[in-house]
Chains A and B, each alone.
Chain A
Amino acid sequence: ETGVTQTPRHLVMGMTNKKSLKCEQHLGHNAMYWYKQSAKKPLELMFVYNFKEQTENNSVPSRFSPECPNSSHLFLHLHTLQPEDSALYLCASSQDDNYEQYFGPGTRLTVT
């Protein structure tokens, strides 16, 4: 048990669907992250939240919309995705944004 959970673990969605990924951390951390892991590419940081405030947005397309209602929960809302958005989406948390990060198991997303 890593202390960071993600749901769902697998998601298949069409390009016109709207879905949300959920991340929850039970470690008392105050920073949370979304990463995208595609085949044969380095891990890509998408968003960073520190104390519920977004501190990083790495030029992510607007079809990805993050939400951080509190320091324990992080969502990634998805709409009108493209097939190239198919990837493993990893959530992580840390105590402040410059400490080691602990990762969830990821959501394997397939866009058809």
Chain B
Amino acid sequence: GEDVEQSLFLSVREGDSSVINCTYTDSSSTYLYWYKQEPGAGLQLLTYIFSNMDMKQDQRLTVLLNKKDKHLSLRIADTQTGDSAIYFCAVLSSGNTPLVFGKGTRLSVIA
């Protein structure tokens, strides 16, 4: 089955860019998502990308997809203290299969 991996921690300075990486194993994955979880809250859908796209930009967020390496990244420009949260990568394979989530990357933003 699908396996999704993320590094557990990332620390950046306020104003810098953050890059959160994710790798997956199923080459037939169709939709790839980034969710944000703030302390004490549920998961919030941030953005997603279809597997036929290489890049998607949405304000400060840029998603890059390298299908050959099965690598997904989320870049946050001008990172703010309010961006401190856990970011989950989630992958949907083709067919009637549920989303598979990574363990999440805890982003800490230092003022």
User: Which applies to chain B's interface (DSSP): helix, strand, loop or mixed?
Assistant: strand
Interface size class for chain B? 20 to 34
Chain A residue nearest in CB terms to B98: A45
Cβ-defined contact, A103 with B35, below 8 A: yes
Determine if A59 is an interface residue (Cβ-Cβ < 8 Å).
Answer: no
Stretch of B12-20, B38-46, B52-60, B64-72 on the interface side: B38-46
Size of the chain A interface, CB-CB below 8 angstroms: 23
In the complex, chain A residues whose CB is within 8 Å of the CB of B96: 55, 97-98
B92: nearest residue on chain A (CB-CB)? A98
Residue of B nearest to A88 (CB): B42
**Residues of A in contact with B (beta carbons under 8 Å apart):** 2, 4, 6, 33, 40-43, 45, 48, 55-56, 90, 92, 97-98, 100-106
